[in-house]
Chain A
Amino acid sequence: MSLTTMNRYQFLSLCLLSSLPLVTPSVCGQSTQHKGQIQVSWQSASEYASWYERGASVNRFGQGDNRLNLSRAVLESRFDVSSSWSAHSVVQYVPDPDNKVGFTELYAQYKPLSKGAYQPQLRVGGFYPKMSLENPDVGWSSPYNYNFSALNTWLGEELRIFGIEASLKRSGKRLKQPSAHNWQWFAGIYKGNDPTGAVLSWRGFSSHDRQSVFNESLKLRPTAGFMSPQLSGQAWQIEPFTEIDGRFGYYVGAHWSYQNRHSLRAYWYDNNGDPAIVNYDTGQYAWDTKFWSLAYKYKITRQTHLIAQAMSGNTAMGKARGVDNDFDSQFVLLTHRWKKFRLSGRIEQFQVKDLDHWTFDPNASDGGAITATLKWRITDKWRAGAEFQYLETKVANRADNNLPTRQIEQLWRLSGEYRF
């Protein structure tokens, strides 16, 4: 969608997003807070059509999309109900592929004032587990690079918790023996998230900043595997957040920080999916997906920060685990803030290893990327930036469509945004 061809639907969505902050305070009094972002981008497009337009490119903007886009609009709201309880929502608009507006998060939070060193907290609803140290900005975006790292791109596409998360925070400065070490322990149980792992298996890792909204259905390029009788029950699109097998999934995590200078986040996620269960109506399998994630942030100086994250896991579907893949990804990001500018560089690699014997459905993929981004905070409200990404991907099933399995892309992106 270009700005000049913005249709009525897009215009209405934008009006709705931008008018909410004006309307709600008068309705709810002084108990609401809204933050938002409207971002316009130009991105050099890939040689192939984008993956969710059933193409072979892993980028957001595929063949023919190298126009000025309204790339994202976000409204992040907080409604305070009482001292301890608040409701949170994040609504996002993306133009690709078909002007999507929806919730990326919607939850209630319990965070009581606590006199002692220990503070219990709860989140109930649909939300991200806080595994990433790359995505602390408005609407789970990255203040560093425009296109997220491959592993966090995947979390944005296929992972969301629909359930309850309990945590206990231990504040070092309030202990009887005060310490500069802070801890927070997490445990979550949830439904949904059963098809998680499908996009990773059939498309491979990607790097972009598009997050799936609740109830999203992601189209995939129909590979030869989809035509096989073994995968006849599988639809050509993935509904990553749906419940298939009726079982609960869980995750546990721990955050450690020291002096607000070192942060470490370790998580184990298991959707506890039963790979034998399939919903023939929607064409969705329950995938058995589990992985660990380890994220680290070090503030070398106040201006220069290092962020790294690694993830490794397995995902499988089918009665006899006909699709069975290991996956892993790692990145290192270095960012430096100088006056109103922030320069960030990231290097990463990713791979999906095909472990199963279904040779008609190859799932192997690997690749890596180098991303350099310069962001300029002109004022608090107006921001601009440029990004260059060298992205190399090799996806085995591209051969099904007689496409070269390896793609090397050099992508430029220019973005301007308004914050409120």
Chain B
Amino acid sequence: MQRQQQVKKRIKQGRRGRGLSTAVLIGLFTTLSMAAKAVTVNVTDERGEPVSGAVVWFEGSHLSKDTQISQQLYKMGQRDRAFTPHILVVPKGAQVSFPNYDSILHHVYSFSAAQPFEFKLYRDSPQSLTFANTGVVELGCNIHDWMLGYILVVDSTHFAITDNKGIAQVNLAKSLSQSTTVNIWHEGFANLDQPETIKVAKLGTNQTLTYQLNQSLFKAKEDFSDEFDDYE
């Protein structure tokens, strides 16, 4: 998809000269607490600092599908001229509705290969769409050009987004003895269509993984947009 290719080029240029760095570090810790059945994934950047907003999901044919997750109704809202949430992760085949909480019209679109679409969204009349293909769906608004959001469609029902401390809690009902793929994605990646992956031989519930990213992240410039910027 053209826009995503452009993003890829931009970030690659930004990275040129910095050199590829860092090895993947996986720390395995077995914790004593068995209260919640979730794998804790710490995502850090090249310098070891925690990375927030990173999407983590597990893939493997042996992973059982959590029907509660796949049948959930997901929402990508628009509030105060911004997508909320900024990043939404959904399992393949999920239905996503687009409620508009603003009093004004939004013209939401995506040129993504995974799911191209467009909606004119009026207040209190949400539209919804089924996302049948995996991939990154970058969202924009034709009225408020600065609005940017992502829907990440994954072939998994085991996923989470890292919080401010760089921690994601991925639900896992029972320990896995087969090799599992752990995928990491961030909007600052050079190629948005290419998540970083690592294979983990065994995955126990209540285990903690630490993952250091292979690439430096593109950081978006601060945006000063406000309610009067659509007068253009």
Contacts and interface: CB of A to CB of B under 8 A. Distances in A.
Interface of A: 30-31, 33, 35, 78, 80, 83, 111, 113, 115-116, 130, 135-137, 143, 169, 171, 174-178, 180, 182, 184, 255, 257, 259-261, 299, 302, 380
A48 B226 CA distance: 40
Contacts of B146: 260
A31, A135, A136 — which one has the most chain B CB atoms within 10 A of its CB? A136
Interface string B200-232: 000000000000000000000111111011111
A175 B5 CA distance: 11
B120 interface: yes
B7 to A, nearest CB: 8
Contacts, number: 65
Q: Main SS of the interface on chain A?
A: loop
A83 B231 contact: no
A33 B222 contact: no
A257 B225 CA distance: 11
A115 B223 CA distance: 22
B125 interface: yes
Contact of B231 (A78, A130, A176): A130
Given A33-B122, A116-B2, A260 B229 contact: yes
A31 B120 contact: yes
B120 A259 contact: no
A178 B7 CA distance: 8
Given A80-B105, A260-B146, 6 more contacts: A83-B118, A115-B2, A115-B3, A174-B6, A184-B232, A259-B222
Nearest to B140: A113
B224 A113 contact: no
A302 B226 CA distance: 8
Contacts of A260: 146, 223-226, 229
A143 B228 contact: yes
A242 B2 CA distance: 47
Contacts of B142: 111, 113
Nearest to B218: A178
Nearest to A144: B228
A130 B230 CA distance: 11
14 contacts: A30-B122, A83-B120, A113-B109, A113-B118, A136-B228, A174-B6, A176-B10, A177-B13, A178-B6, A257-B232, A260-B223, A260-B229, A302-B224, A380-B103
B6 A259 contact: no
A292 to B, nearest CB: 20
Given A80-B120, A180-B221, A302-B224, A33 B104 contact: yes
Contacts of A171: 145
B199 interface: no
Given A171-B145, A174-B3, A115 B232 contact: no
Given A35-B104, A111-B142, A299 B224 contact: yes
A30, A177, A299 — which one has the most chain B CB atoms within 10 A of its CB? A30
A43 to B, nearest CB: 25
A136 B105 contact: no
Contacts of B145: 171, 182
B74 interface: no
Contacts of A180: 221
Contacts of B7: 178
A262 to B, nearest CB: 9
Nearest to B148: A173
B9 interface: yes
A281 B206 CA distance: 89
Contacts of A380: 103
Contacts of A255: 232
A171 B144 CA distance: 12
Contacts of A136: 228, 230-231
B221 A259 contact: yes
Nearest to A117: B6
Nearest to A133: B231
A136 B227 CA distance: 9
B97 to A, nearest CB: 15
